[in-house]
Structure 1
């Protein structure tokens, strides 16, 4: 099983990987740290079995040439879903974000969840609010993973 994790924060990536490996011990986890690297990754590879997408991330990987990763893209996860659809590489998707509101509070996580269910019904599994200080997100992510596994 090939699982793509698109996450720019190393601690969160490690935690996500740990949870995924607890459910799918043999999973081959592939990572991308920015919007652009994720788009290239999706374009250059076969369709993944599952994708875990962060909602907000930098446009580019952090490097000597791009020490900040460029501007942060608030809806990078949504853009990735559109790019996957455009390239006919949709796979089951779970969004994991540490933000509860977007667009300066005009939209919240429930709004995005409803939008993704409407726009990507064939692949969107749900969203998880990540909080490093609270473990509730772990159980919610595991629920989505077990539900995905039961439908395979």
Structure 2
């Protein structure tokens, strides 16, 4: 009887601690985004192979780019006058100033949320930014420094 009581107590302790570990993992799976040390009101999602995705409109807007969405082609074109980026749903080819660039993973359109997710590092570096990750045991953040922004 005593062993059963100890076993039940031990099992309850493990069950109660599981949510803590899930919260810690979730913050690393959905890192915060900072552009020029200003936190954005979006979180990234990291794919199984490590590609970081964000919704296209907030990131392009933060980089002061004009955004055009083509709902028929499920593609986005963003420009700031110097740089033009074109990304199409499920295409491994992006275009930067008309030049084809191969992507590790394609951008993804989610029909349920009607959001188009793009590769954060590709977009940031295409606009002249530097991308750095900061990770610890429970948290992760992405810092983007873009000297072209005010």
So what's the TM-score if we normalise by structure 1? 0.27
Bigger CA radius of gyration: 2
More strand by share: 2
So what's the TM-score if we normalise by structure 2? 0.27
